[in-house]
Amino acid sequence: MSNVQSGATGTRRPLGIMAALPQELGDLIDAMRAEASVRTVTHGRRDYHLGTVQGAPCVVTLARIGKVAAAATVSALIHAFDVEAVVFTGVAGGVGREVRIGDIVVADTLTQHDLDASPLFPCFEVPLLGIARFAADQALADELATATERFVAEEGHALAARFGTQLPQVHRGLIISGDQFVASATAVAALREALPDALAVEMEGAAIAQVCHEYGVPCAIVRTISDTADAHAPASFTSFLAEIAGAYSNGILKRFLQARV
């Protein structure tokens, strides 16, 4: 396959940065434009923004919603843009009992909660791959968690006061993904029963982790909790996305990218 990126940002391979929706990316593309020129390549109906953050080459894109969209986008980042690693930022529904709106979850592992080819294969296992839980890259997830902890230490109180949330807690553990927006207490109870250690539910992460695993590309995923996946989830998600998600992504990504330079 042709590589539409080759040579654009020198010899260093870029970092791929993804979100599902523009509100989840914060001001990152504007920040890249302020730093240097940004080249936008349209590929597979998505825009890939090639530029630098603090001098480091990055390709930034929006996957849109769902596992197929995420898998297609991360595959393009790997094959057309030759990224060395992938970081995904966005919001999620809280599923863990200790996980509250405004908290942040950095994934250690990810699983597709809606994947079930039983009795042919164990529930949640990707058929013929033999894996149910995909690991985030440990070092990259540690870097992301460190940046997230710093963000909370430096801006957490101000954020909580501004948005009327509690001081954010940072969690590490299992994020679950499926092609459903989860919005009922019954559905949350079923997810807790099936996957008791799940911290958060969203619609892309495990697909990205699977594709990255298959191609040997490190990935890490951070999610801010916009709702608790119950009947209030649609309203909570919508207002969190419009008002808060970008501030979290900006604060986390800025520190993460600064530390990588």
Binding region for ligand ADE (CB under 6 A):
91-93, 181-183, 201-203, 226-227, 229, 233, 237
Give the active site residues. Answer: 24, 227
When the beta carbons of 178 and 218 are compared against ligand ADE, the nearer one is 178
When the beta carbons of 226 and 250 are compared against ligand ADE, the nearer one is 226
Task: Estimate to the nearest angstrom the gap between the alpha carbon of 199 and the chain centroid.
Answer: 14
Residue 118: CB partners within 8 Å, gap ≥ 6? none
The 3-state DSSP composition of the chain as helix, strand, coil percent (nearest 5) reads 40, 25, 35
What gap in Å lies between CA 67 and CA 86, rounded to an integer?
A: 16
- CB of 207: closest distance to ligand ADE in angstroms? 13
228-to-3, 116, 180, 195, 231 alpha-carbon distances in Å = 41, 24, 14, 16, 9
What gap in Å lies between CA 131 and CA 124, rounded to an integer?
A: 8
Whose CB is nearest to ligand ADE? 93
When the beta carbons of 52 and 111 are compared against ligand ADE, the nearer one is 111
What gap in Å lies between CA 90 and CA 85, rounded to an integer?
A: 17
When the beta carbons of 137 and 204 are compared against ligand ADE, the nearer one is 204
